[in-house]
């Protein structure tokens, strides 16, 4: 693949700390969308621990806050999943 083809944005190039590059074969936008999906899904699991910690300390305000954040990430995951499936 020529350098000119890479400049069109058809592929996302990942540069590692060692200076090597890896071609993923997906567009920048789809890579970004997948990243949002991954981090929202990961956050949803982590918040369960935060909710438990706040409940153990009797801090209902934090329990509600973490539940709200968890719900927002759940919605974000569903929306990102839908968008990914269309690409």
Q: Compute the distance between CA of residue 34 and CA of residue 21 in angstroms, rounded to an integer.
A: 19
pLDDT digits (tens, 9 = 90+) for 11-54: 555 554 454 445 667 888 999 999 999 999 999 889 999 999 99
pTM: 0.66
Percent above pLDDT 70 for the chain? 72
Cα atoms in the Cβ-side hemisphere of radius 13 Å centred on 50: 16
Reported as a pLDDT band with limits 50, 70 and 90, residue 5 is very low
pLDDT tens-digit series, residues 55-86? 999 999 999 999 999 999 999 999 999 999 99
**How many CA within 13 A on the CB side of residue 81?**
8
The reported pLDDT for the residue numbered 55 is 98
So what's the pLDDT on residue 75? Answer: 96
């Amino acid at each position: 693949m020529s350098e000119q083809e890479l400049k069109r944005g058809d592929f996302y190039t990942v540069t590692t700390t060692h200076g090597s590059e890896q071609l993923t074969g997906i567009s920048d936008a789809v890579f970004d969308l997948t990243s949002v999906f991954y981090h929202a899904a990961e956050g949803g699991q982590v918040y369960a621990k935060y909710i438990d910690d706040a409940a153990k300390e009797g801090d209902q305000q934090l329990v509600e806050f973490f539940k709200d954040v968890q719900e927002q990430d759940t919605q974000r995951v569903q929306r990102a999943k839908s968008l990914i499936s269309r690409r």
